[in-house]
Structure 1
């Protein structure tokens, strides 16, 4: 059973906070599983991208409190499960903390395992597509949490 899940992307303002908040929403109040997110090149202190925030809001999830934070070795080590958006992210995380290699996976591992593309600075349809991929991926992990 995973107690501490960490979701990783690059900036920590689109994909990883969306996944973090979707996990928290699915797990519900009182869950013993904690979910957080961080970025490999985080836009530290920034909130969620406006389009990602709007999509979450449209699905009844408030992401306004999120602030991007930088990934570091201590975050990786304290996580039981690290879920990354792209294969390159998995590699970056395992280079940062080689001892964590057995607990780092793609978020969409149980689906097609192709990774989740970055919608940053793209149109709303790109964000909608990514939201759907993330939502389906989060759902695929729920039976393991």
Structure 2
């Protein structure tokens, strides 16, 4: 099983959106028995809450489920479980590295999946309100990530 974890600040906007989008793509490709997707945050303000209403609205618009998703914190156990830990911005990466076990973990940054994009970090729609822009980035990046996982992990198995 390949395990993917998306990380943002509060785990209510960007990372749950990425979790839902990648889960949807994994399901469409009938790979749910081979790829598991989760999300977490580095801040504790929203623990136990569902995704932000803006995230839910954009996912609804695209017919993507976020059922049973609740915000949680990144934990030390995540560094053992997940092969892919993907941070939405540098600040999230810095915060993950402060968690015991995270200092030596290999982190990926979401926008590295889209090297042609001008942005180098996924904007936080909690502050910008631009959920559509974030969805477009996440949708494109998840396509790249899924192909990379299939090529690197699943074809080797």
* TM-score (norm. length: structure 2): 0.82
Counterpart CA distance in 2 for 1:64 and 1:143 is: 25
* Equivalent residue, structure 2, for 1:130: 134
Partner of 1:32: 34
Cα distance in 2, alignment partners of residues 121 and 109 from structure 1: 22
Cα shift at 1:121: 4.6
Could you list the per-position Cα deviations for residues 24-56 of structure 1 after superposition, in whole angstroms to 9, with x for gaps in the alignment? 111115331101000000410111111110110
Query: Which region of structure 1 is more displaced relative to structure 2, 17-26 or 88-97?
Result: 88-97
1:84 to 84, 87, 90: 87
Q: Report the secondary structure of 2:120's partner residue.
A: coil
Unaligned runs of 5+ in 1: none
Please list, as runs of the form range in 1=range in 2, the aligned pairs for 1:67-82 lying within 5 A after superposition: 67-82=70-85
For structure 2, the residue ranges without an aligned partner over 5 or more in a row are: 150-157
The RMSD of aligned alpha carbons is 1.6
**Please, which moves more after superposition, 88-97 or 57-66?**
88-97
- Bigger-Rg structure (1/2): 2
Please state if 1:55 is matched with 2:58: yes
* Partner secondary structure for residue 134 of structure 2: helix
Hey, which bits of structure 1, 4+ residues long, moved more than 3 A? none
